[in-house]
Structure formats: C-alpha cells, structure tokens
Copies of this chain bind each other. A is one copy, B any other.
Amino acid sequence: MLEEANWTVGKVAKRCGVKVSTLHYYEELGLIRSWRNAGNQRRYKAEVLRRISVIKAAQKMGISLDSIKRAFSTLPDNRTPTKNDWQLLASGWQRELNERIRYLEVLRDSLDSCIGCGCLSLTSCPIYNPDDIAGSQGDGAVILTRNAQSES
C-alpha cells in the first residue's frame, strides 16, 4: 500500500470523464464512497475508478443506478473487490444483456412484417407484446425486463 489512496474528487472526475457533481450524486446514492481529509474534502481510493467505469458501462447497457446499486451490494464490503468479484457481477449483467439483445432482435425482426400489417394492436403481435421473451414474469433478474409493458 505504498500508493495510499489519495484521489481528490476533481482528479477522479477528470480521469473518469464525469463531473464533480456526478460524483457527489453517486455518493449520495451510495454507489461510491469516500472519506474526508482534515479540511472536510473528499478523498477516494483508486478502487473508485473501477466502480465509476462499471457504473458507466452498466448505464450503457440500460441498467438503472438503482439496479447498479443492488448489484454493487453483492460486492464485499470489508475488502477491495477482486477481479473475481467484478466478474461475478458482470456475469449477471451478461445474462440480462443477452435477454435484452434477444428482445431487440425480436423487435427488429417483427418490425418489418408487423408494422405494416393490422396486427399491431392485437395482444398476439410480437411487437406489441414481446414480454414473453424473457421467460415468465415475477421474481429473479427482472432488471432489464422492467421496461416491458406495465399494465396499470
């Protein structure tokens, strides 16, 4: 630990390409953590860089900060996450990503045939009701499936 964690909010922001306010916000949400120096300024350990990168990557997959937070909660609390910890987390997202990709593929493939026909408004049209794709409903891994139809 020669390289004692010494990242300021400004440096982290610059390195990660986000704004300082975003880091404040993420901290408020509990996505990242910092401690304070004598003058009440935030200090981070290098680990935060990976966290932020992962947040950004997950967002690009369409995962909400809330879900990311839940995923992060599976990371060890007491020690810096290892490569393995991150890969475990990633594997969960990979499944979701696959579902999402399948979903979009069905949408794409139905698009041409369905959009011109009269079936769109029917409950059997794959464009209008592609919810079946991600298996049944209810429990387990419904992070990406969320944006499916929400009958109120």
**How far is it, in angstroms, between the C-alpha of A127 and the C-alpha of B87 when the chains are bound?**
14
Smallest CB–CB gap between A93 and chain B, Å? Answer: 6
Instruction: Count residues on chain A whose CB falls below 8 Å from chain B CBs.
Output: 49
How many copies make up the complex? 2
Q: B108 to A87, Cβ gap below 8 A?
A: no
CB distance from A68 to the nearest CB of B (A): 13
Instruction: Given A101-B108, A151-B17, answer yes or no on A120-B53 (Cβ-Cβ < 8 Å).
Output: yes
Residue positions of A touching B, CB distance < 8 A: 15-17, 19, 49-50, 52-54, 56-57, 60-62, 83-84, 86-87, 89-91, 93-94, 97-98, 100-101, 103-105, 107-108, 111-112, 115-118, 120-121, 125, 127-128, 130, 147-149, 151-152
